[in-house]
Structure 1
Amino acid sequence: MKKLKIAIIGGGSSYTPEIIEGFIKRKDELPLGEIYLVDIEAGEEKLNIVGSLAKRMVKKAGLDIDVVLTLDRREAIKGADFVVTQFRVGGLEARARDERFPLKYDVLGQETTGPGGFAKALRTIPVMMNICKDIKELSPEAWLINFTNPSGLVTEAINKYTDIKCIGLCNVPIHMKMDIAAMLDVDSKDVYVDFIGLNHLVWGRKAYVKEKDVTKLVIEKLQDGASLSMKNISDLKWDGDFLNALGMIPCPYHRYFYMTDRLLKEEKEAAKQGAGGTRAEIVKKVEERLFELYKDENLQEKPKELEKRGGAYYSDAAVSLISAIYNDKKEIHTVNTLNKGTVKELPYDSVIETNCLIDRRGATPLNIKEEVPAEILGLMQAVKSYEVLAAEAAVKGDKQKALLALSVHPLVPSVSVAKDLLRDLLEINKEYLTQFK
């Protein structure tokens, strides 16, 4: 049997023990021969620390897998069967700037949503285009599994401007499924959620436990204090009247659109605390503690503290997706993939987040029988318009498209504010945004 080669770009990430654990758990499903962890020079120290832990984890599991640490991306990609991307251009320092710079215009600062997410996409997409060139040359049959945020927007750019086989991934849908299972005290395997929307803008239209529709019960639980959130998002409670009117289950990120005023107030107060107040600055401290743990030569497993980083269920999402493709499982996964008419109200060639059949062919969306209801359609279309323009701006270095992208985003109040935001983000990120020169 041919042994598989996996390339993980951003191998020095604090998330890496999570995906290594995922491969170990699925050792009987995936005949792995090599896992290449690749990073850039600036991340070499972290790569060595987390890579050493990965090797100890594999050794403890008794697996014959070579874990290779390298700064040579092309070496990692050459001959790979799967390429996983989990990197952050500019590191947490860039994320902290993304979270702060919109606030002076009374606009939310967030790493994947709004102007902050736009800045991250502009830094990330050109790097991803170069990675895709390497894949095309060195392993054209490889699957690219993208976990790099903003995942849906990055996946849109890859699918629109390259011919690489790519599926985008996010842990929000699986997180929602696990939270629903916990609030109803049932096995998560018995929970099915009918997801439709975009990355970080996905709704659960219906939730089922086995064959029973439990959507109303979940909405009642949310009004009764049950949590459906993420580590990186304030667990503000939903308005009961709104949830009853919506009749669907919003994702944690919907708070940025449905509770904008409250989250903006929270962010501005956090930013006033100086260094250490924003989510990026909190995560930086968490990461420092994690890497101190990772240095311990006696540590041979993923530490519980990693859950505080916000990457819960990453291994289940990423590695089970890889296994479903490799083993032709025909399982249902919630992923980011080409629309292809699934949501008739969105462009055919745009990327959506929805339930898909996963097999050797990749992701086949489960067709939505009804029209998307007006309750969610407008917001979905507005954000998709932003994503289409943002992807083009990032790939082509087009300032006009960049201005339009910000101008149509629901969280940006006016064109004049969009111009100010664009000016600032281009200046703050000029060392990364060479496509605009």
Structure 2
Amino acid sequence: MSFKIAIIGAGSVGFTKKLFIDLLCVPEFRDIEVALTDISQHNLDMIRAILEKIVEANGFPVKVTADTDRRRALEGAKYIISCVRVGGLEAYADDIRIPLKYGIDQCVGDTICAGGILYGQRNIPVILDFCKDIREVAAPGAKFLNYANPMAMNTWAAIEYGKVDTVGLCHGVQHGAEQIAEILGAKSVSELDYICSGINHQTWFIDLRLNGRKIGKDELVAAFEAHPVFSQQEKLRIDVLKRFGVYSTESNGHLSEYLPWYRKRPEEIARWIDMSDWIHGETGGYLRHSTETRNWFETEFPQFLASAAKPIDPAKRSNEHASHILEALETGRVYRGHFNVKNNGVITNLPADAIIESPGFVDRFGINMVSGVTLPEACAATCMASINVQRMSVHAAVRGDIDLLKLAVLHDPLVGAVATPEEVWQMVDEMVVAQARWLPQYAHAVPAAKERLAKSSVKTRDWAGAARRNVRSIEELRAEKSALKKAV
């Protein structure tokens, strides 16, 4: 098979490499063209060198191109994959830093909460530019696969306003399933059958079967509490499981910032998180992790390049959805996964316009969702709180409506549990001013926001958060990796 795949934001080097190797694990895909595009020529040069080394080492006729001209990269592409981070780590640092001044402590801040909403404001205009290019220069009927966060908002904008065939893809469901398989003593995750449904990062295991045997709440709680690692790392998720009756797919840290109950009091945060790794609830954990990863890659690039010169092992293909979806669409080999699409009645007790994450099957006829799913009432209620925020955020981003943006942030569950309306209004003004260069739709609102900030009497504080760790140096990372190797 010969067709073109374009990857936007290909400078996300590690993730692009993983997707590329996955694609080459499909025997029929070894004559494709992969067009890389990014605003950073430096990152493009690095990832192109790595991918070309992989192609050379395996003797495949795959063509790899790299271009900072996005439209040129998208010309004739049948599939477009996006993994962009608009504003990079500089803007992301403000997503964490500024809300902390108002008492809002986020672990990740890239899906909802104050940081995730502003992230969406930066991303959505760019996503719509992608969609315009796809409509104009990509292959007719091209499919857009969005990996970028905030997942639901980006996918919502691409479908409702971009008018492009779009699916959102995440790996939270797969990671949750791996955990459950481990605590239940399964030899592999293939022994576990499950239905997850909800919205991205708030998806729920509403049916679990181990080798055909149904697993109930009590057994699951007991298994998690008996696990020597997860019992400590997933305390908040286990508490939600006990109260809701079903397990959430999302990590302890992520889930903690989507709910109004666990991070609203600084003295309570330590009770529910674990500091063994960023994903379990650390303040600004993903920002620290991303910063360390970028620094590590820049320094250790020669080693990454050298490691690319080895044969691909299809048995080690990852569980990222993209390659499996493309394989099913192109070959007809059926693939089952959990996908982010417009609801349209798939989940009976969520709105039709919401972007939901739920089971579907892929074949030559496309992505076919399993309809008629009904969430437990508490799960639906929790999802609804986020959906309402997402809807307002998308519409605000498209219209450049700062008043609607403030209302979206005000209605965010964690923000509303911590901040007053006056604090929210000032915080949003401060974030829009700080990120103005990435928010062209709010250019008209920035002068007035600056005036309000100059006159404001709302007090803020200089606070690093309840559970902050410093970014580790390259030397510290090397020492930790060396110690881990010796321990193994």
TM-score (norm 2): 0.79
Q: Secondary structure at the match of 2:341?
A: strand
Mark the CA change 1:322 to 1:293 in structure 2 (over 3 Å): closer, same or farther: farther
Is 1:354 the counterpart of 2:361? The answer is no
Equivalent-residue separation in structure 2 for 1:313 and 1:180 (angstroms): 21
Equivalent-residue separation in structure 2 for 1:277 and 1:316 (angstroms): 25
- Provide structure 1 residue ranges, at least 5 long, that are not aligned to the other structure: 271-275, 303-311
Candidates 279, 284, 300, aligned match of 2:286: 279
Q: In the TM superposition, what is the alpha-carbon distance from 1:104 to its structure 2 partner?
A: 1.5
Aligned to 1:13: 12
Is 1:425 the counterpart of 2:435? The answer is no
Does the CA contact (< 8 Å) of 1:19 and 1:315 recur in 2? Answer: no
Equivalent-residue separation in structure 2 for 1:300 and 1:373 (angstroms): 46
Give the 5 Å matches for 1:107-146.
107-109=104-106, 110-139=109-138, 140-146=140-146
Equivalent-residue separation in structure 2 for 1:10 and 1:240 (angstroms): 35
Give the 5 Å matches for 1:24-103.
24-26=24-26, 28-40=27-39, 43-103=40-100
Aligned to 1:307: none
Q: In the TM superposition, what is the alpha-carbon distance from 1:92 to its structure 2 partner?
A: 1.4
Does the CA contact (< 8 Å) of 2:197 and 2:206 recur in 1? Answer: yes
Does the CA contact (< 8 Å) of 2:159 and 2:166 recur in 1? Answer: yes
Equivalent-residue separation in structure 1 for 2:286 and 2:317 (angstroms): 20
Give the 5 Å matches for 1:224-373.
224-225=226-227, 235-238=233-236, 242-250=240-248, 251-252=250-251, 253-256=254-257, 257=259, 259-261=262-264, 265=269, 278-296=285-303, 297-300=305-308, 316-369=320-373, 371-373=374-376
Mark the CA change 1:338 to 1:293 in structure 2 (over 3 Å): closer, same or farther: same
Does the CA contact (< 8 Å) of 1:208 and 1:215 recur in 2? Answer: no
Q: Secondary structure at the match of 1:343?
A: coil
Q: In the TM superposition, what is the alpha-carbon distance from 1:226 to its structure 2 partner?
A: 5.9
Is 1:377 the counterpart of 2:409? The answer is no
Q: Out of 321-330 and 13-22, give the one that drifted further.
A: 321-330
Candidates 369, 387, 402, aligned match of 2:405: 402
- Deviation readout 1:98-145 (Å, 9 max, x if unpaired): 112111211133222301001110000100100100000112311100
Q: Secondary structure at the match of 1:238?
A: helix
Mark the CA change 1:182 to 1:292 in structure 2 (over 3 Å): closer, same or farther: farther
Aligned to 2:474: none
Mark the CA change 1:210 to 1:239 in structure 2 (over 3 Å): closer, same or farther: closer
Q: Secondary structure at the match of 1:411?
A: helix
Aligned to 1:169: 169
* CA RMSD between the two structures: 2.7
Q: Secondary structure at the match of 2:233?
A: coil
Equivalent-residue separation in structure 2 for 1:17 and 1:261 (angstroms): 38
Q: Equivalent pairs: percent with the same residue?
A: 25
Is 1:389 the counterpart of 2:392? The answer is yes
Q: Secondary structure at the match of 1:392?
A: helix
Does the CA contact (< 8 Å) of 1:93 and 1:280 recur in 2? Answer: no
Aligned to 2:188: 187
TM-score (norm 1): 0.87
Mark the CA change 1:236 to 1:178 in structure 2 (over 3 Å): closer, same or farther: closer
- Deviation readout 1:129-188 (Å, 9 max, x if unpaired): 001000001123111000011111110111111221100001111111222223333322
Mark the CA change 1:277 to 1:396 in structure 2 (over 3 Å): closer, same or farther: closer
- Provide structure 2 residue ranges, at least 5 long, that are not aligned to the other structure: 278-282, 311-315, 444-488
Question: Match for 2:297: what amino acid?
Answer: L
Q: In the TM superposition, what is the alpha-carbon distance from 1:30 to its structure 2 partner?
A: 2.7
Aligned to 1:148: 148
Q: In the TM superposition, what is the alpha-carbon distance from 1:415 to its structure 2 partner?
A: 2.5
Bigger CA radius of gyration = 2
